[in-house]
Amino acid sequence: MRITFCRKRNEKRIKIEFPYHLGTIQFLKTITGSCWEADGRYWHVPDNSENRALLGLPDDSLPDNTLKALSEFKHWMQSRRYSSNTIIVYLNAVEVFLTFYKDRALAEISNADVIHFNNAYILHKALSSSYQNQVVNGIKLFFKTIQGRALNPELIHRPRGEKTLPNVLSKAEVKAILEAPFNAKHKAMLSLIYACGLRCGELLSLKPEHVDSKRQILIIKQSKGRKDRIVPIGQGIINMLRLYYIAYKPEIYLFEGQLKGTPYDSRSLQMVLKQSLKKAGINKPVTLHWLRHSYATHLLESGTDLRYIQALLGHSSSRTTEIYTHVSTKSIQNIKSPFEDL
């Protein structure tokens, strides 16, 4: 993410540039006055203390000792090798919280203040439950590591988890999407996401040596949770990748952008999917992650054991994988409605 400053209609704005990421876009949309600049392909928001805190920018209104504590918190997370995304999220969350209580000494902040912040700030602004959880996690870690005191998690209000089902496409819809691109690179990228149940970031981080055609496996390095895993890759997708490799000759990454040696841009890949949906005549708001959900569900419906699906997807907990049992139609379709007997 690249953050700079600009002016729009003589108003100071914070300019935000980043590779396509749906969660970041949804977060920016919650900020009052946020705008998408189509020509320059960037977002911009009003330059004020609140937005600076949200984006992890220094705010002169915070006391020096608070800014020092935030800097120590950042360095602590970096030394523990937290991912860059986690560092940004936690740092932003804590800074928003401390800006809300900028007139209070850090030593005076208690569990009751976190509860009040949840109600007066997060709920008042109708921010998401996932953001509320991020704030609570960040605040707890900050006070435990930097302030040397733990807030009681039992007294901090957490939102109930939203029980949403993953979006799944039919095999016919997947086939139509994968056959839509004319470009060999585009076809190979979309096909590999579905064929191996990859996350977008996993696909774009692949290198040619991660494809083991002899053993017919794909090696996914340091994915979510800093874990490696392998997934089976069929002969059909191997043949497709061979043709693609001969045509494009990537140097470092398996799928590279316009500049050799640089990974393909995630926003461009999302546009590839959007164009494929249009050609296939599919009007659903499909994202790249729908292909991963469809891969898991279709495996389950074909009789693959849930434990193997968990390993293939790289889930740490079986509970995460069990969500696909709720969208699989194999067993549901065998149930006869009592309406049919009337």
Catalytic, out of 210, 221, 229, 315: 315
Is 131 considered catalytic here? Answer: no
Is 326 considered catalytic here? Answer: no
Listed in sequence order, the DSSP H helices in 107-215 are 111-117, 129-145, 171-179, 184-196, 200-205
Is 224 considered catalytic here? Answer: yes
Catalytic, out of 292, 293, 295, 298: 292
Structure tokens at 97: 């919280």
Query: Which run of H or of E encompasses 88?
Result: helix 84-100
Catalytic, out of 199, 207, 210, 221: 199
Catalytic, out of 224, 229, 245, 248: 224
Catalytic, out of 244, 253, 295, 324: 324
Is 292 considered catalytic here? Answer: yes
Residue 306, Cβ neighbours under 10 Å: how many? 14
Residue 292, Cβ neighbours under 10 Å: how many? 21
Q: How far apart are CA 67 and CA 31, in angstroms?
A: 23
Q: How far apart are CA 125 and CA 17, in angstroms?
A: 24
Q: How far apart are CA 168 and CA 177, in angstroms?
A: 13
User: Using the 8-state DSSP alphabet, how is residue 122 labeled?
Assistant: I
178-to-189, 221, 277, 281, 291 alpha-carbon distances in Å: 9, 25, 9, 12, 10
Catalytic, out of 21, 185, 221, 289: 289
Is 298 considered catalytic here? Answer: no
Is 289 considered catalytic here? Answer: yes
- Catalytic residue annotation: 199, 224, 289, 292, 315, 324
